[in-house]
Amino acid sequence: MRLTGEDGPIPVGILTGFLGSGKTTVLRRILEAEEYGDSAVLINEFGEVGLDHILVGEIAPDVVLLNSGCLCCTLRGELRDALSSLLSGRLRGEIPPFKRVIVETTGIAQPSLILSTVYADPRIRHHYTVGDVVTTVDAMHAPVQSRSEAVWLEQVAAADDILITKTDRIEESALQEILDLLERSNPAARKLYPDSPGALRLFSRPADAGETAKARRTHLAGLSPAAQDPHAEPHYTSVATVRLMAEEPIDWEAFGVWLSMLLHAHGGNILRVKGLLRIAESEEPVVIQGVQHVIHPPEHLPSWEGLKKGTDLVFIMRGLDPELLRKSFHVFVLGRA
Amino acid sequence: MCGLCGIFGETSHWSTQGVTGGTSRRQRLFRLQAINRVLGLIHYTIRDFSGTDYVVSSPTGNQCMVKEIGQLWQNVETMRGRPLDPLDASLMRACGRRCREQYQ
């Protein structure tokens, strides 16, 4: 028996974009829209702490988290299993019918390898097809990331739609430069902003078929050496993550002083910070996240329900010693000698 | 502006954005204590200036005015000639020593 969407196999849309470019914000926004009510969502996060599914889970409770590794390298089997179990669940009537699957990737994922998972497995291929690839681009950091992060270009090049985020934080002239850069990197993609009318219809184009899909597969295979060499080293080996945990409440001011000092000294090499804080002055969990030198305004979650009470932070960084960072957190924030 | 203490809210640095729910003046005092704990390790100090700015002083008497926390570390780096690095082993040792002294 073949399960299909309305017009054929179920499209698997991919939401990608570099670390901190706003993927989860976009996902939250589109899931709030009524027409996305029949979407299944798979979230993959790099690092041991899944935060995105907590943020998205407020809107869509049945989010599946693919954790502790990068989907395009180590978890391709897990993606296959998750897609299979969605089908089984739907067959058994345990989950309602869904018209599309949206996969939110890690910020350092190569979309080409994820697409190849959907294409390569006979069972998956029978029921699913590749839908749109939507790439979020952080307007503030795009000029630097385009030069320093090879995967940034792969993500942009793979996109059917490019969603440019954080444009309110840059000048008009800088935005034009980013548009030129994106035009050079992927002239075929639609360039949208979160408030563009098209941004409300992401992942809703008919599933790809025929020449378009073939063209994209060929294009992506050419872009990604790892796609051609299954034994190639995972691309994130130069990137390290460290998880900082503490059960006791922490002092917000001590944390702020430590993190701002750390980002001043090493912000260029701290690709991503995210996690939950248990602070002494508040009953609710505080979400903290940022990219390189920029930390977003902290957010309160309504309660600790369903979460382990305590601070749980992940740093994704390049060229820094995880043990030194852990020790520094213990000494400066927790006051442990 | 804080309705209770009449202090203008500090600028938009993420660490000053009302996470704790305390008044601006109270939080500002806690912040100063926390910064002084770190700056004290290199014999620098920071103090409040009219509830709107900060004054950073070096052990040799150099002073500079800092408008907001976002500028603090850059100013300390300029005065000192090198950044204050929380991953620096000697700074961590000094901080650890102080923690032990507090518990004794």
- Chain A with chain B: Cβ pairs closer than 8 A: 100
Residue B18: pLDDT over 60: yes
Residue A65: pLDDT over 50: yes
- Average pLDDT, whole number, for chain A? 76
Amino acid symbol at A329: F
Tell me how far apart the alpha carbons of residues A308 and A67 are, in angstroms, rounded to a whole number: 16
Tell me how far apart the alpha carbons of residues A286 and A206 are, in angstroms, rounded to a whole number: 39
- Average pLDDT, whole number, for chain B? 84
- pLDDT tens for A260-270 read 999 999 987 88
* Highest-scoring range by mean pLDDT, A37-51, A112-126, A202-216: A112-126
Q: How confident is the model at residue A214 (pLDDT cuts 50, 70, 90)?
A: very low
* Set of chain B residues whose Cβ sits within 8 Å of the Cβ of A250: none
**pLDDT cut 70: percent of chain B above it:** 81
B31: which 2 tokens? 């912040």
Q: Tell if the CB–CB gap between A260 and B22 is shorter than 8 Å.
A: no
Contact residues of B toward A, CB < 8 A: 13-17, 19-22, 27, 30-31, 33-35, 37-38, 69-70, 72-74, 77, 83-87, 89, 92, 95-97, 99-100, 102-103
The residues near B103 (Cβ < 8 Å, ≥ 6 apart) are: A337
B73, B97, B100 member nearest A264 (Cβ) = B73
* Average pLDDT over every residue of A285-289: 86
Residue A166: pLDDT over 80: yes
A259, A260, A281 member nearest B20 (Cβ) = A281
Output the pLDDT for position B64.
Answer: 94
Mean pLDDT lowest among A52-61, A114-123, A184-193: A52-61
List A128's β-bridge partners, or say none. A10
For residue B30, give how far its alpha carbon lies from the nearest alpha carbon of chain A (Å): 7
For residue B24, give how far its alpha carbon lies from the nearest alpha carbon of chain A (Å): 13
For residue A328, give how far its alpha carbon lies from the nearest alpha carbon of chain B (Å): 6
Give the CA-trace dihedral at A219, A221, A223, A229, to 10 degrees. -170
Nearest C-alpha in A relative to B82: A265
Nearest C-alpha in B relative to A320: B87
B74, B83, B99 member nearest A335 (Cβ) = B99
B16, B74, B86 member nearest A332 (Cβ) = B86
Q: Tell if the CB–CB gap between A253 and B15 is shorter than 8 Å.
A: yes
At A212 the three-state DSSP class reads helix
Q: B1 or B79: which carries more pLDDT confidence? A: B79
Tell me how far apart the alpha carbons of residues A324 and A54 are, in angstroms, rounded to a whole number: 29
Contact residues of A toward B, CB < 8 A: 251-254, 256-262, 264-266, 279, 281-282, 286, 290, 295-298, 300, 320-321, 324-325, 327-328, 331-332, 335-337
Concatenating the DSSP letter of every residue in chain B gives: --TTT-PPPP-S-GGGSSSS---HHHHHHHHHHHHHHHHGGGT-EEEEETTTEEEEE-TTS-EEEESSHHHHHHHHHHHHSS---TT-HHHHHHHHHHHHHHH-
Nearest C-alpha in A relative to B19: A298
